[in-house]
Amino acid sequence: MEPVQLSVADQVVLVTGASRGIGHDLALAFAAAGATVVAAARRVEDVADLVDEIAAGGGQAIAVDLDVTDRESIDAAVGAALSELGRIDVLVNNAGLGFNHDALEVTEADWDQIMDVNLKGLFFVTQAVARGMVERGYGRIVNLGSQAGLVGIRRHAVYSASKGGVDLLTKVLALEWAPHGVTVNVVAPTYAYTPGTAERLDDPEVAADVLARIPTGRFASTADIAAAVLYLASPSAGMVTGTVLPVDGGWTAQ
Protein backbone atom coordinates (compact mmCIF):
# COMPACT_ATOMS: atom_id res chain seq x y z
CA MET A 1 0.00 0.00 0.00
CA GLU A 2 1.19 3.50 -0.81
CA PRO A 3 1.79 5.71 2.24
CA VAL A 4 -0.98 8.11 3.19
CA GLN A 5 0.25 11.69 2.82
CA LEU A 6 -2.11 14.05 4.60
CA SER A 7 0.59 16.61 5.30
CA VAL A 8 0.71 19.94 3.47
CA ALA A 9 4.21 20.70 4.77
CA ASP A 10 6.36 22.57 2.27
CA GLN A 11 3.36 23.34 0.05
CA VAL A 12 2.73 26.90 -1.15
CA VAL A 13 -0.89 27.83 -0.45
CA LEU A 14 -2.75 30.91 -1.69
CA VAL A 15 -5.80 31.82 0.43
CA THR A 16 -8.09 34.55 -0.87
CA GLY A 17 -10.13 36.68 1.50
CA ALA A 18 -7.63 36.01 4.27
CA SER A 19 -8.16 39.20 6.26
CA ARG A 20 -10.77 37.82 8.66
CA GLY A 21 -13.15 35.02 9.51
CA ILE A 22 -12.78 31.65 7.81
CA GLY A 23 -10.03 32.81 5.44
CA HIS A 24 -7.93 34.20 8.29
CA ASP A 25 -8.22 30.96 10.25
CA LEU A 26 -7.56 28.81 7.19
CA ALA A 27 -4.31 30.68 6.65
CA LEU A 28 -3.33 30.00 10.26
CA ALA A 29 -4.26 26.32 9.91
CA PHE A 30 -2.13 25.88 6.79
CA ALA A 31 0.81 27.66 8.41
CA ALA A 32 0.52 25.47 11.51
CA ALA A 33 0.57 22.43 9.21
CA GLY A 34 3.87 23.55 7.69
CA ALA A 35 2.73 25.24 4.50
CA THR A 36 4.00 28.56 3.19
CA VAL A 37 0.97 30.85 3.04
CA VAL A 38 0.19 33.56 0.53
CA ALA A 39 -2.39 35.64 2.40
CA ALA A 40 -4.47 37.59 -0.10
CA ALA A 41 -6.83 40.47 0.61
CA ARG A 42 -8.05 43.60 -1.15
CA ARG A 43 -5.60 45.63 0.92
CA VAL A 44 -2.30 44.14 1.94
CA GLU A 45 -2.49 46.12 5.18
CA ASP A 46 -5.47 43.99 6.20
CA VAL A 47 -3.36 40.83 6.37
CA ALA A 48 -0.19 42.37 7.81
CA ASP A 49 -1.06 41.24 11.34
CA LEU A 50 -1.86 37.75 10.06
CA VAL A 51 1.53 37.45 8.37
CA ASP A 52 3.20 38.68 11.55
CA GLU A 53 1.26 36.15 13.62
CA ILE A 54 2.32 33.31 11.35
CA ALA A 55 5.95 34.45 11.48
CA ALA A 56 5.83 34.73 15.27
CA GLY A 57 4.68 31.11 15.41
CA GLY A 58 7.62 29.99 13.29
CA GLY A 59 5.72 29.77 10.02
CA GLN A 60 6.23 31.40 6.64
CA ALA A 61 3.82 33.78 4.93
CA ILE A 62 3.67 36.67 2.53
CA ALA A 63 0.87 39.14 1.87
CA VAL A 64 -0.49 40.17 -1.53
CA ASP A 65 -3.11 42.67 -2.68
CA LEU A 66 -5.84 40.76 -4.50
CA ASP A 67 -9.21 42.17 -5.49
CA VAL A 68 -11.03 39.22 -7.06
CA THR A 69 -13.26 41.58 -9.08
CA ASP A 70 -10.26 43.12 -10.87
CA ARG A 71 -8.45 41.04 -13.51
CA GLU A 72 -5.31 43.18 -13.33
CA SER A 73 -5.21 42.75 -9.55
CA ILE A 74 -5.60 38.98 -9.91
CA ASP A 75 -2.76 38.71 -12.43
CA ALA A 76 -0.52 40.98 -10.35
CA ALA A 77 -1.13 39.02 -7.14
CA VAL A 78 -0.53 35.62 -8.74
CA GLY A 79 2.54 36.99 -10.50
CA ALA A 80 3.93 38.38 -7.26
CA ALA A 81 3.44 35.06 -5.47
CA LEU A 82 5.09 33.12 -8.27
CA SER A 83 7.95 35.58 -8.48
CA GLU A 84 8.71 35.31 -4.76
CA LEU A 85 7.92 31.64 -4.10
CA GLY A 86 8.24 29.98 -7.50
CA ARG A 87 4.95 28.08 -7.53
CA ILE A 88 1.48 27.78 -6.02
CA ASP A 89 0.59 24.21 -5.02
CA VAL A 90 -2.77 24.89 -3.40
CA LEU A 91 -5.43 27.51 -4.06
CA VAL A 92 -8.18 28.12 -1.51
CA ASN A 93 -10.91 30.31 -2.97
CA ASN A 94 -12.37 31.70 0.23
CA ALA A 95 -13.21 35.30 -0.73
CA GLY A 96 -16.97 35.73 -0.83
CA LEU A 97 -19.96 37.91 -0.07
CA GLY A 98 -23.30 36.99 1.46
CA PHE A 99 -26.37 39.10 2.05
CA ASN A 100 -29.99 38.27 2.82
CA HIS A 101 -32.48 39.58 0.28
CA ASP A 102 -36.14 38.90 -0.30
CA ALA A 103 -36.20 37.80 -3.93
CA LEU A 104 -38.68 40.52 -4.89
CA GLU A 105 -36.35 43.16 -3.51
CA VAL A 106 -33.11 42.08 -5.22
CA THR A 107 -31.62 44.82 -7.40
CA GLU A 108 -29.34 44.41 -10.37
CA ALA A 109 -26.56 45.92 -8.26
CA ASP A 110 -27.16 43.30 -5.54
CA TRP A 111 -26.96 40.52 -8.13
CA ASP A 112 -23.82 41.86 -9.78
CA GLN A 113 -22.00 42.51 -6.51
CA ILE A 114 -22.43 38.96 -5.22
CA MET A 115 -21.85 37.24 -8.56
CA ASP A 116 -18.76 39.32 -9.32
CA VAL A 117 -17.07 38.08 -6.15
CA ASN A 118 -18.52 34.64 -5.50
CA LEU A 119 -18.55 33.24 -9.03
CA LYS A 120 -16.85 35.43 -11.63
CA GLY A 121 -13.98 36.43 -9.35
CA LEU A 122 -13.49 32.87 -8.13
CA PHE A 123 -13.28 31.62 -11.73
CA PHE A 124 -10.67 34.11 -12.87
CA VAL A 125 -8.48 33.63 -9.79
CA THR A 126 -8.68 29.89 -10.41
CA GLN A 127 -7.84 30.29 -14.08
CA ALA A 128 -4.79 32.43 -13.28
CA VAL A 129 -3.43 29.98 -10.71
CA ALA A 130 -4.34 26.81 -12.61
CA ARG A 131 -2.21 27.72 -15.63
CA GLY A 132 0.92 27.00 -13.61
CA MET A 133 -0.58 23.93 -11.93
CA VAL A 134 -1.52 22.36 -15.27
CA GLU A 135 1.93 23.10 -16.65
CA ARG A 136 3.64 21.46 -13.65
CA GLY A 137 1.22 18.54 -13.52
CA TYR A 138 0.09 19.06 -9.92
CA GLY A 139 -2.33 21.22 -7.99
CA ARG A 140 -5.07 21.29 -5.40
CA ILE A 141 -7.93 23.78 -5.66
CA VAL A 142 -10.49 24.05 -2.87
CA ASN A 143 -13.47 26.35 -3.31
CA LEU A 144 -15.45 27.55 -0.31
CA GLY A 145 -19.07 26.92 -1.15
CA SER A 146 -22.05 26.74 1.16
CA GLN A 147 -24.91 24.52 2.19
CA ALA A 148 -26.96 27.24 0.46
CA GLY A 149 -25.60 25.92 -2.84
CA LEU A 150 -27.10 22.50 -2.11
CA VAL A 151 -30.51 23.30 -0.64
CA GLY A 152 -32.85 26.26 -0.84
CA ILE A 153 -32.74 28.80 1.98
CA ARG A 154 -35.23 31.62 2.11
CA ARG A 155 -33.90 35.13 1.40
CA HIS A 156 -30.73 33.68 -0.18
CA ALA A 157 -31.73 33.74 -3.87
CA VAL A 158 -28.62 35.45 -5.20
CA TYR A 159 -26.21 33.90 -2.71
CA SER A 160 -27.59 30.40 -3.35
CA ALA A 161 -27.37 30.94 -7.11
CA SER A 162 -23.74 31.99 -6.79
CA LYS A 163 -22.78 29.03 -4.63
CA GLY A 164 -24.72 26.58 -6.78
CA GLY A 165 -22.75 27.98 -9.69
CA VAL A 166 -19.51 27.33 -7.81
CA ASP A 167 -20.52 23.70 -7.31
CA LEU A 168 -21.12 23.05 -11.01
CA LEU A 169 -18.13 25.13 -12.13
CA THR A 170 -16.01 22.97 -9.82
CA LYS A 171 -17.19 19.81 -11.59
CA VAL A 172 -16.33 21.18 -15.02
CA LEU A 173 -12.85 22.33 -13.96
CA ALA A 174 -12.25 18.98 -12.25
CA LEU A 175 -13.01 17.17 -15.50
CA GLU A 176 -10.79 19.42 -17.60
CA TRP A 177 -7.79 19.35 -15.29
CA ALA A 178 -7.86 15.82 -13.86
CA PRO A 179 -5.50 14.55 -16.61
CA HIS A 180 -2.97 17.15 -15.45
CA GLY A 181 -2.87 16.13 -11.78
CA VAL A 182 -5.02 19.04 -10.63
CA THR A 183 -8.01 18.38 -8.37
CA VAL A 184 -10.87 20.82 -7.82
CA ASN A 185 -13.34 20.43 -4.96
CA VAL A 186 -15.79 22.36 -2.80
CA VAL A 187 -16.12 22.54 0.97
CA ALA A 188 -19.68 23.62 1.80
CA PRO A 189 -20.07 24.77 5.41
CA THR A 190 -23.15 25.51 7.43
CA TYR A 191 -23.28 28.65 9.55
CA ALA A 192 -20.00 29.32 11.33
CA TYR A 193 -19.64 32.01 13.97
CA THR A 194 -17.28 34.61 12.47
CA PRO A 195 -17.07 38.41 12.40
CA GLY A 196 -19.15 38.29 9.22
CA THR A 197 -22.00 36.30 10.79
CA ALA A 198 -21.84 37.63 14.35
CA GLU A 199 -24.45 40.35 13.81
CA ARG A 200 -27.07 37.77 12.82
CA LEU A 201 -26.04 34.89 15.07
CA ASP A 202 -25.84 37.14 18.16
CA ASP A 203 -29.61 37.54 17.79
CA PRO A 204 -31.01 34.79 20.07
CA GLU A 205 -34.05 34.24 17.83
CA VAL A 206 -31.91 33.86 14.69
CA ALA A 207 -29.41 31.60 16.47
CA ALA A 208 -32.17 29.36 17.82
CA ASP A 209 -33.74 29.05 14.37
CA VAL A 210 -30.42 28.12 12.77
CA LEU A 211 -29.45 25.62 15.46
CA ALA A 212 -32.84 23.93 15.15
CA ARG A 213 -31.88 23.06 11.56
CA ILE A 214 -28.44 21.61 12.41
CA PRO A 215 -28.78 18.05 13.70
CA THR A 216 -25.47 18.19 15.58
CA GLY A 217 -26.85 21.14 17.53
CA ARG A 218 -24.00 23.60 17.07
CA PHE A 219 -22.53 26.04 14.59
CA ALA A 220 -19.52 24.94 12.57
CA SER A 221 -16.17 26.14 13.82
CA THR A 222 -13.40 27.39 11.58
CA ALA A 223 -11.43 24.35 12.77
CA ASP A 224 -14.17 22.05 11.40
CA ILE A 225 -13.89 23.77 8.03
CA ALA A 226 -10.09 23.81 8.06
CA ALA A 227 -9.95 20.05 8.65
CA ALA A 228 -11.94 19.41 5.47
CA VAL A 229 -9.93 21.93 3.43
CA LEU A 230 -6.60 20.54 4.62
CA TYR A 231 -7.60 17.01 3.60
CA LEU A 232 -8.65 18.07 0.10
CA ALA A 233 -5.42 20.09 -0.21
CA SER A 234 -3.24 17.13 0.70
CA PRO A 235 -1.35 14.83 -1.67
CA SER A 236 -3.51 11.88 -0.62
CA ALA A 237 -6.68 13.51 -1.96
CA GLY A 238 -5.62 12.89 -5.55
CA MET A 239 -8.61 10.61 -6.28
CA VAL A 240 -11.10 13.12 -4.89
CA THR A 241 -12.11 15.67 -7.49
CA GLY A 242 -15.30 17.36 -8.62
CA THR A 243 -16.93 16.77 -5.23
CA VAL A 244 -18.84 18.94 -2.78
CA LEU A 245 -18.05 18.11 0.84
CA PRO A 246 -20.65 19.52 3.24
CA VAL A 247 -19.41 20.53 6.68
CA ASP A 248 -22.92 21.22 7.85
CA GLY A 249 -23.72 19.08 10.89
CA GLY A 250 -26.33 17.22 8.85
CA TRP A 251 -28.32 20.25 7.57
CA THR A 252 -28.44 19.00 3.97
CA ALA A 253 -29.20 15.40 5.01
CA GLN A 254 -32.76 16.43 5.86
Active site residue 120: no
**Angstrom distance (rounded) from CA 35 to CA 89:** 10
What average pLDDT does the segment 77-97 reach?
Answer: 98
For residue range 106-162, what is the model confidence (pLDDT) as tens digits? 999 999 999 999 999 999 999 999 999 999 999 999 999 999 999 999 999 999 999
Superfamily of domain 12-253: NAD(P)-binding Rossmann-like Domain (3.40.50.720)
Instruction: Please tell me the predicted confidence (pLDDT) of residue 139.
Output: 98
Is residue 3 over pLDDT 90? Answer: no
- pLDDT score for 212: 97
Identified catalytic residue from 120, 138, 159, 231:
159
Percent of the chain with pLDDT over 90: 93
**Sign of torsion over alpha carbons 173, 242, 182, 37:** positive
163 as an active site residue: the answer is: yes
Among the listed residues 120, 138, 163, 193, the single catalytic one is 163
With bands split at pLDDT 50, 70 and 90, how would you rate the model's confidence at 6? Answer: confident
Helices (H) and strands (E) in the chain, counts: 9, 7
pLDDT at 196 over 90: no
Q: Return the domain boundaries, the chain.
A: 12-253
CB 186 within 8 A of CB 143: yes
Q: What's the pLDDT tens digit per position in 212-246?
A: 999 999 999 999 999 999 999 999 999 999 999 99
